[in-house]
């Protein structure tokens, strides 16, 4: 299968707690229920214009409270073996200043890659007036990662998969050693290639992350 697309999604755990002694807000409670229901229908393959996204949950999956500040990741190419993908929800701390009207939850697509190689990795975070910029792997040595997981709301590029399975129950995935929740739509493949990768992420984890030629700086522009 080869496709390319842009997607916007989110993920799970618990919403921000209401203040002590006050009753839960019905509107917020309704939004949380809708988001959890939406996870069941999130297609972890691309939907509109053609590509998929990347993220995962498991032994090394995202289990921390996210800051709620998105960051951008780009690469000339990503090549991976052992690929899985499914929908989930990420949660911020209670009363996070970044929660806005989300109830402290972000619907994401979780992707896991057992082993990944990235050419010319760039990561940027908008700090308000300036960007924290990280670059690596633009020379002969590329970025290497094992047990890589990312929680994304958007991703674009040109993707191809080998031996892809679409429509699995996320709790039965086997390719990357990660399992999602029962009843959640998912996909997995032996290999994945994405050219001109661009992601909006809320979390990333890896067992090993090797960044040759690492450069960290502040910049007026992001990736």
> Is the per-residue pLDDT at 157 higher than 70?
yes
Grade residue 1 by pLDDT with cuts at 50, 70 and 90.
Answer: very low
Of the CA atoms within 13 Å of residue 106, those in its CB half-sphere come to: 27
Of 171, 148, 147, 162, the closest CA to residue 193 belongs to 162
Report the 10 Å Cβ neighbour count for 213. 15
Give 54's contacts (C-beta < 8 A, 6+ positions apart). Answer: 85, 109, 111, 113, 150, 152, 155, 194, 199
Other beta carbons less than 10 A from residue 135's beta carbon: 20
Tokens of 164: 């892809």
Per-residue pLDDT reduced to its tens digit, 207-217: 999 999 999 99
Whether residue 28 has pLDDT greater than 90: no
How distant is the alpha carbon of residue 23 from its chain centre? 33
């Amino acid at each position: 299968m080869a496709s390319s697309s842009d997607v916007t999604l989110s993920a799970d755990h618990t919403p921000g707690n209401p203040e002590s002694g006050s009753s839960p807000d019905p509107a917020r409670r309704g939004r949380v229920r809708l988001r959890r229901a939406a996870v069941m229908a999130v297609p972890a393959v691309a939907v509109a214009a053609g590509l998929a996204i990347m993220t995962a949950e498991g032994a090394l999956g995202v289990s921390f409270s996210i800051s709620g500040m998105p960051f951008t990741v780009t690469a000339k190419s990503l090549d991976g073996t052992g690929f899985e993908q499914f929908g989930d929800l990420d949660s911020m701390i209670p009363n996070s200043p970044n929660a806005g009207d989300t109830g402290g939850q972000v619907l994401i697509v979780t992707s896991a890659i057992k082993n990944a190689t990235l050419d010319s990795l760039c990561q940027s975070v908008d700090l308000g007036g300036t960007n924290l910029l990280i670059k690596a792997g633009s020379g002969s040595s590329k970025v290497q990662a094992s047990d890589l997981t990312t929680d994304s709301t958007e991703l674009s590029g040109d993707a191809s998969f080998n031996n892809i399975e679409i429509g699995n129950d996320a709790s039965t995935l086997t390719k990357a050693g990660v399992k999602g929740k029962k009843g959640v739509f998912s996909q997995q493949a032996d290999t994945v290639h994405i050219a001109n990768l661009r992601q909006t992420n809320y979390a990333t984890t890896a067992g090993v992350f090797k960044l040759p030629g690492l450069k960290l700086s502040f910049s007026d522009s992001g990736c």
